[in-house]
Amino acid sequence: MSKLEAFLAGDRLDDVALFLTHEYLDSQGKLPNLGEEVENGYVLVVDGDDGRRAFAAGTGMDAMEFAQQATGNKSHVERDLGGGECPDSAPDENHQTRFIFAFAEEQNDGVGGLYERGDVVHAYAHCTCGTDYSDRWVVGAEDETGVQPGEDEPAEAN
Ligand SMILES: [Zn+2]
């Protein structure tokens, strides 16, 4: 199982995952060797502290501040963290995902809701247009929780 697969399965709760475009990684030299290639870039799965540092270095933003800023705006993020659907996208515009920051949270019966169902992956995305958005889903129920492709509300809200 790759690091990314393990992260997506909820087996790397102390790590964070970063999706970064080829453009960013090309400018950073050796980082591609650490990542896994996805459609439009790379996903790196690294220790939480290293990941937050890499995120700050690459984006000029604090990861948790970015997450807070993105959290109120729900939209679909691909379950392999390879991109997402910008909520502000229009047919003739370019809305590529510039980066994604994700972490996983352990199942927690005390919190209830999604957290009772299993480990939860939180993903925060930034679009080239400047919009931030977020999605979260339960490991093992990726198609039943969080925002599904083409939708604008989390499936569990219905
Ligand atoms: Zn956009």
Q: How far is the CA of 87 from the centre of ligand 1 (A)?
A: 7
> Distance, CA 7 to ligand 1 centroid (Å)?
26
Location of structure tokens 């790590």 = 15
pTM: 0.92
Tokens found for residue 55: 């995120």
Give residue 93 CA to ligand 1 midpoint distance, Å. 8
* 29 pLDDT more than 80: no
d(CA 30, CA 33): 6
For ligand 1, the distance from its centroid to the CA atom of residue 56, given in whole angstroms, is 21
Distance of CA 140 from the midpoint of ligand 1 (Å): 28
Give the lowest-confidence range in 22-26, 144-148, 149-153.
22-26
Strand-pairing partners, residue 16, are: 46, 103
Angle 48-59/63-70 helices, nearest 10 degrees? 80
Q: In this model, does residue 23 exceed pLDDT 80?
A: no
More confident residue, 145 or 1: 145
pLDDT at 38 over 60: yes
CA distance 51 to 101: 9
Residue 44's DSSP bridge partners are 18
Residue pLDDT, tens place only, 94-135? 899 999 999 999 999 999 899 999 999 999 999 999 999 999
The pLDDT of residue 21 is 85
| Residue type at 66 in one-letter notation | F
Q: Tell whether the model's pLDDT for residue 154 goes beyond 60.
A: yes
Residue 85 CA, ligand 1 centroid: distance in Å: 8
Q: How many angstroms does the Cα of residue 131 sit away from the middle of ligand 1?
A: 5
Q: Which residues pair with 103 in a beta bridge?
A: 16, 122
pLDDT in tens, 49-101: 989 998 888 788 899 999 999 999 999 999 999 999 999 988 788 899 999 99
Instruction: Tell me: pLDDT of 32 over 60.
Output: no
**What does the pLDDT average to over 29-45?**
76
**Ligand 1 centroid – CA 112 distance (Å):** 32
Q: Kindly report the average pLDDT of the chain as a whole number.
A: 90
